[in-house]
A = this chain, B = another copy of it.
Amino acid sequence: MAKTLYIEDEKEIGQWVTEDLTGRGHDVTWLTSGNQLEQYLNNIDLAILDIMLPGLDGFSIGKRIKKANQDTPIVMLSARSAVEDKLEGLSFADDYVTKPFHPDELAARVDALLRRFQKEEGILEIRHLQIDTKSLIIINKQTEKEILLTGKQYQLFQYFLRHLNQILTKEQLYEGVWGERFMEGDKTLMVHIRYLREKIEENPAKPTIIETIRGIGYRVKK
């Protein structure tokens, strides 16, 4: 299920689009401004941004998102005239839709972009694991058995896979997966790492897949 960040200050349109896309199977987070952008930044598959917004405008938000992750597709929304005016400013955007629009149109463009940007769809192999990034099936090549994870374990593992090779701080991980502020000293994340290792590591006491970066966080390398 694709995580979509949608920023729109007009309540009516916002609710309408959010309901429509949700009904079509997207996981939509709707914000009315870019103020809390940072906490979503590293955990989205696609962004839909209105251009005219109070505070940070859609251009700035779009550039910020691209900077954080080049591979996040962005759709800009705006009145026709505004788009024509500022076409050059849209260079970072991957598509744009002019208001007013039909929900089918937006949904079609969103789906097309997700297809185009889909992270190497297919099989990802890490050590003895074979991960199908589309169906989310994880297989242990040694035992030839499937590994089933619980909800949180899935979210956590996916977060690692989306940020392969990066050192992720505990803050990033907790905020990315739980969507809440991380409290210094909280051991919840560590316990989940432990249980995840129990399932995916050959020897959970000597983990090779989820590396501990002491004092900072964790990392999963390709």
Contact surface of A with B, Cβ cutoff 8 Å: 24-25, 33-36, 38-39, 54-56, 60, 63-64, 67, 104-105, 107-108, 111-112, 115, 121, 134-137, 148, 150-152, 154, 165-167, 213-216
A56, B112: Cβ atoms closer than 8 Å: yes
Q: Which of B54, B148, B150 contacts A104 (CB 8 A)?
A: B54
Residues on the B chain within 8 Å of A150, using CB: 214-215
Q: Would B36 and A151 count as touching, CB distance under 8 A? A: no
Query: Once the chains bind, are B104 and A35 in contact (CB under 8 Å)?
Result: yes
Cα of A115 to Cα of B25 in the assembled complex, Å = 34
Q: Is the CB of A152 within 8 A of B24?
A: no
Q: Say yes or no: A112 contacts B214, CB within 8 Å.
A: no
Q: Could you tell me the distance in whole angstroms from the C-beta of A74 to the nearest C-beta in chain B?
A: 16
Once A55-B108, A104-B35 are accepted as A-B contacts, the answer to whether A137 and B216 lie under 8 Å apart by CB is no
Among candidates B104, B154, B165, B216, residue contacting A151 with C-beta atoms closer than 8 Å: B216
CA distance A115 to B64 in the complex (A): 8
Pairwise interchain contact A55-B152, C-beta atoms closer than 8 A = no
Q: Are B135 and A167 in contact (CB under 8 A)?
A: yes
Q: Are A214 and B55 in contact (CB under 8 A)?
A: no
Residues in B with CB closer than 8 Å to A165 are 135, 137
